[in-house]
Amino acid sequence: MLIGADKFPQVWKNKCSSLGPGFPSVYSSVFGWVLIGPVQDIPDIGAQAMLVSLVSSMESIIERWRKVEEPEAAPPQFTEDGLCEELLNSDMRKDQAHQPSTYDG
């Protein structure tokens, strides 16, 4: 009995290729290509290790992220007060006494 055999046709696609005798075959699936079969022995070259160290603290990483993601303050003309000031200045005129006036009369 093979568990999951009922799902096999839904996962496997009809594309396959053989790399030749003594080599694995490749089959296409919904997860990508799958290699099945023998592989050639590779001589053991000994254990290898690579060490990685992260010095940055989580606080400094978050602080740098905030500086990049923080939007700049909106220019005055994009705020409600700035828009009101701009409208007032565009309609304002000086009367005969050089006082600001928005009415031409």
The predicted pLDDT at position 34 comes to 84
Distance CA 53, CA 38 (A): 37
Q: Would you state the pLDDT for residue 7?
A: 80
Residues 9-33 have pLDDT tens digits of: 888 888 888 878 888 888 888 888 8
Burial class (CB in 10 A: 0-12, 13-18, 19+), 12: middle
Give the strand order in the sheet containing 12-18. Answer: 12-18, 25-29, 32-36
Q: According to the model, what pLDDT value does residue 54 have?
A: 63
Which pTM value belongs to this model?
0.34
Q: What is the CA radius of gyration of the chain?
A: 36
- pLDDT tens string 60-96: 878 887 777 777 777 777 778 878 777 777 777 767 7
